[in-house]
Amino acid sequence: MHTNLLIIGAGPAGYTAAIYAARAGVTPTLLEGMQPGGQLTTTTEIENFPGFPDGIDGTELTDRMRAQAERFGVSILPRAVVNSHLDERPLRVSLDDGTDMTADTMVIATGASAKYLGLPDEKKYAGMGVSACATCDGFFYRKKTVAVVGGGDTACEEADYLAGLAAKVYLIVRKPFLRASEIMQRRVMENPKIEVLFETNTEGLYGENGVEGAHVVHRRGEADERHYDLPIDGFFLAIGHTPNSAPFAQWLETDETGYILTEGASPRTNIPGVYAAGDVADPHYRQAICAAASGCKAGIEAKQYLVEHNLL
């Protein structure tokens, strides 16, 4: 099967790229991937996406984006990419059903996956006190007590952000030191609302209708090992994200973590006609509105590429 524009990923970036390209006269094909809707589907209510003053459920928002893309004739397939051949023209990808697709141009919008500790309780309380995005969900914990897991810059930034909303923030760090930059360490250590729990691991969560606390252990495996319960209302993971770039990493330039590198503020990658949009190319902001904006850029760029190369 061939398409003039293949969009890989069904989050805000992918849908926005599809909408802009389709309205401009392109006939895109969009592959939903393993998690249609992306990370938005793990968020119960979104209050910071413009146009929804009363908030909107994450799944409902992506369903609306999907309907809008379909309205303009975008072909949406329930397939995922397992391998790519970006050294060929037309571009070619291998899908999870054993078939191949070719395309004249491509937008990679496969997103990123938050890293979790692997505790069963993280799934049990998903959307009920467990979050991987303080900017997204911090507002729900105003004047409450929360915990952030991690010891790097991201964790310190999340703790500092939450301290502006919550009454108390625990920073749970498994090592006896912070890995964050000096300025972030100082910001955390000098904030009276933040208490750093060094050499501490989370063993589980508890609560009736949501997170009410965490089971933690201090100095696990040592002679003075101590287990105790930490009362909290929210549990934030800040141990990093993994960009879903593996099927394309052989061909595209990425940073050391795997985020696809683009040219300046554009969505252009090192391969002409291949664009990256959304969280797969954004290690910093990771917000739906930013992903949508980059998807807009990618859709416009893809149309221009097709016109310039007489492929429409």
* Catalytically active residues, by annotation: 133, 136-137
**What gap in Å lies between CA 101 and CA 104, rounded to an integer?**
11
- Residues written for the chain: 312
Residue 260 per-residue DSSP state: B
98: left (phi over 0), alpha (psi -120 to 50) or beta: left
Tell which residue, 183, 139, 130, has the closest CA to residue 161.
139
| Residue 93: strand pairing partners | 84, 101
What's the token pair of residue 29?
């094909």
* Tokens 């895109």 -> residue: 28
For residue 249, give every residue at least 6 positions away whose Cβ sits within 8 Å of its Cβ, in sequence order, or none.
Answer: 258
What's the token pair of residue 62?
């992506």
* Tokens 């379909």 -> residue: 70
**What gap in Å lies between CA 191 and CA 123, rounded to an integer?**
31
| Residue 211: strand pairing partners | none
Do you find a cis peptide bond into 90, omega within 30 degrees of 0? yes
Q: Helix (H, G, I), strand (E, B), or coil: what is residue 182?
A: helix
What's the token pair of residue 41?
């589907």
